[in-house]
Amino acid sequence: MSIVIRKAVQQDCPRMMELIYELAVYEKAPEEVTVDFDHFVNAGFGKTPVWSAFVAEQTDEFGLATVQALALYYTRYSTWKGETMYLEDLHVTEKSRGRGIGKLLFNKLIEEAKAKKYVAISWQVLDWNEPAINFYKKLGNVQFDAGWVNCTVNF
Protein backbone atom coordinates (compact mmCIF):
# COMPACT_ATOMS: atom_id res chain seq x y z
CA MET A 1 0.00 0.00 0.00
CA SER A 2 1.37 3.38 -0.96
CA ILE A 3 0.92 6.67 0.87
CA VAL A 4 0.96 10.07 -0.83
CA ILE A 5 1.01 13.36 1.08
CA ARG A 6 -0.56 16.14 -0.98
CA LYS A 7 -2.28 19.51 -0.68
CA ALA A 8 -5.97 19.13 0.06
CA VAL A 9 -8.35 20.01 -2.75
CA GLN A 10 -11.99 21.03 -2.48
CA GLN A 11 -13.15 17.52 -3.38
CA ASP A 12 -11.45 16.26 -0.18
CA CYS A 13 -13.75 18.31 2.05
CA PRO A 14 -16.41 15.63 2.71
CA ARG A 15 -13.73 13.17 3.83
CA MET A 16 -11.90 15.86 5.77
CA MET A 17 -15.10 16.65 7.68
CA GLU A 18 -15.46 12.93 8.48
CA LEU A 19 -11.94 12.92 9.88
CA ILE A 20 -12.58 16.12 11.86
CA TYR A 21 -15.68 14.55 13.39
CA GLU A 22 -13.73 11.35 14.13
CA LEU A 23 -11.14 13.48 15.94
CA ALA A 24 -13.89 15.23 17.94
CA VAL A 25 -15.31 11.86 18.99
CA TYR A 26 -11.82 10.78 20.09
CA GLU A 27 -11.47 14.02 22.06
CA LYS A 28 -14.86 13.34 23.69
CA ALA A 29 -16.48 16.42 22.16
CA PRO A 30 -18.45 15.46 19.03
CA GLU A 31 -21.15 18.02 19.86
CA GLU A 32 -18.53 20.76 19.51
CA VAL A 33 -18.31 20.26 15.73
CA THR A 34 -20.83 22.88 14.63
CA VAL A 35 -19.22 24.27 11.47
CA ASP A 36 -21.52 24.23 8.46
CA PHE A 37 -20.10 22.21 5.55
CA ASP A 38 -20.47 25.06 3.05
CA HIS A 39 -18.73 27.44 5.45
CA PHE A 40 -15.91 24.93 5.90
CA VAL A 41 -15.45 24.60 2.14
CA ASN A 42 -15.61 28.35 1.56
CA ALA A 43 -13.13 29.01 4.38
CA GLY A 44 -10.62 26.73 2.67
CA PHE A 45 -11.35 27.23 -1.01
CA GLY A 46 -13.35 30.46 -1.34
CA LYS A 47 -12.16 33.90 -2.46
CA THR A 48 -10.18 34.51 0.75
CA PRO A 49 -9.20 31.14 2.20
CA VAL A 50 -8.24 31.15 5.88
CA TRP A 51 -6.97 27.59 6.16
CA SER A 52 -4.87 25.16 4.15
CA ALA A 53 -4.38 21.46 4.60
CA PHE A 54 -2.40 18.44 3.58
CA VAL A 55 -3.98 15.03 3.34
CA ALA A 56 -2.47 11.57 3.39
CA GLU A 57 -3.93 9.41 0.68
CA GLN A 58 -3.41 5.69 0.89
CA THR A 59 -3.83 3.42 -2.12
CA ASP A 60 -4.87 -0.16 -1.43
CA GLU A 61 -3.94 -3.29 -3.34
CA PHE A 62 -6.85 -2.68 -5.75
CA GLY A 63 -5.68 0.82 -6.64
CA LEU A 64 -8.40 2.57 -4.61
CA ALA A 65 -7.08 5.78 -3.01
CA THR A 66 -8.63 7.00 0.25
CA VAL A 67 -7.74 9.95 2.44
CA GLN A 68 -6.63 8.50 5.79
CA ALA A 69 -5.30 11.61 7.53
CA LEU A 70 -5.25 15.37 7.48
CA ALA A 71 -3.19 18.26 8.78
CA LEU A 72 -5.12 21.55 8.71
CA TYR A 73 -3.26 24.78 9.42
CA TYR A 74 -3.35 28.53 9.02
CA THR A 75 -1.04 31.51 9.43
CA ARG A 76 -0.86 33.09 12.85
CA TYR A 77 1.00 36.27 13.63
CA SER A 78 3.01 36.66 16.81
CA THR A 79 3.94 40.19 17.78
CA TRP A 80 7.02 38.72 19.45
CA LYS A 81 8.15 36.32 16.71
CA GLY A 82 6.43 37.06 13.40
CA GLU A 83 4.47 34.70 11.17
CA THR A 84 3.98 31.18 12.44
CA MET A 85 2.09 28.17 11.20
CA TYR A 86 -0.72 27.18 13.53
CA LEU A 87 -1.61 23.51 13.25
CA GLU A 88 -5.31 23.29 14.05
CA ASP A 89 -5.76 19.56 13.51
CA LEU A 90 -3.53 16.62 12.74
CA HIS A 91 -5.50 13.41 12.66
CA VAL A 92 -4.78 9.93 11.33
CA THR A 93 -7.76 7.60 11.20
CA GLU A 94 -7.43 4.82 13.76
CA LYS A 95 -7.01 1.97 11.27
CA SER A 96 -4.05 3.74 9.63
CA ARG A 97 -2.08 4.64 12.75
CA GLY A 98 1.35 3.17 13.32
CA ARG A 99 2.32 3.35 9.64
CA GLY A 100 4.31 6.58 9.83
CA ILE A 101 1.58 8.72 8.25
CA GLY A 102 1.61 11.28 11.06
CA LYS A 103 5.37 11.71 10.71
CA LEU A 104 5.05 12.12 6.93
CA LEU A 105 2.39 14.78 7.42
CA PHE A 106 4.42 16.62 10.04
CA ASN A 107 7.49 16.57 7.80
CA LYS A 108 5.38 18.10 5.03
CA LEU A 109 4.20 20.81 7.44
CA ILE A 110 7.81 21.60 8.36
CA GLU A 111 8.73 21.79 4.67
CA GLU A 112 5.79 24.15 4.01
CA ALA A 113 6.57 26.32 7.04
CA LYS A 114 10.18 26.71 5.96
CA ALA A 115 9.15 27.51 2.38
CA LYS A 116 6.82 30.25 3.66
CA LYS A 117 9.57 31.52 5.99
CA TYR A 118 7.48 30.99 9.11
CA VAL A 119 9.49 31.10 12.31
CA ALA A 120 7.73 28.17 13.99
CA ILE A 121 4.84 25.74 14.02
CA SER A 122 2.52 25.91 17.03
CA TRP A 123 -0.35 23.70 18.12
CA GLN A 124 -2.21 22.42 21.15
CA VAL A 125 -2.60 18.92 22.52
CA LEU A 126 -4.94 17.79 25.26
CA ASP A 127 -3.05 16.93 28.44
CA TRP A 128 -4.65 13.46 28.61
CA ASN A 129 -3.85 12.54 25.00
CA GLU A 130 -0.73 10.52 25.74
CA PRO A 131 -0.43 8.90 22.30
CA ALA A 132 -0.31 12.36 20.68
CA ILE A 133 2.05 13.74 23.32
CA ASN A 134 4.39 10.78 22.82
CA PHE A 135 4.23 11.28 19.05
CA TYR A 136 5.18 14.95 19.42
CA LYS A 137 8.01 14.12 21.82
CA LYS A 138 9.52 11.80 19.19
CA LEU A 139 9.69 14.68 16.72
CA GLY A 140 12.48 16.24 18.77
CA ASN A 141 12.98 19.91 19.65
CA VAL A 142 9.30 20.30 20.65
CA GLN A 143 8.55 22.66 23.55
CA PHE A 144 5.61 21.90 25.83
CA ASP A 145 4.58 25.22 27.37
CA ALA A 146 3.29 25.40 30.91
CA GLY A 147 1.48 28.29 32.47
CA TRP A 148 -0.84 29.23 29.60
CA VAL A 149 -4.60 29.07 29.93
CA ASN A 150 -6.73 28.83 26.79
CA CYS A 151 -9.50 31.41 26.51
CA THR A 152 -12.44 31.65 24.15
CA VAL A 153 -15.38 34.00 23.71
CA ASN A 154 -18.23 32.30 21.85
CA PHE A 155 -20.91 34.17 19.91
**Residues with active-site annotation:** 136
Crossing angle between the packed helical segments 101-115 and 130-139, to the nearest 10 degrees:
50
The sign one gets for the Cα dihedral 11, 14, 15, 19 is positive
Compute φ and ψ for 141, nearest 5 degrees: 55, 30
119, 85 in Cβ contact below 8 A? no
- Distance from C-alpha of 85 to C-alpha of 59, rounded to nearest angstrom: 29
143, 123 in Cβ contact below 8 A? no
- Distance from C-alpha of 65 to C-alpha of 56, rounded to nearest angstrom: 10
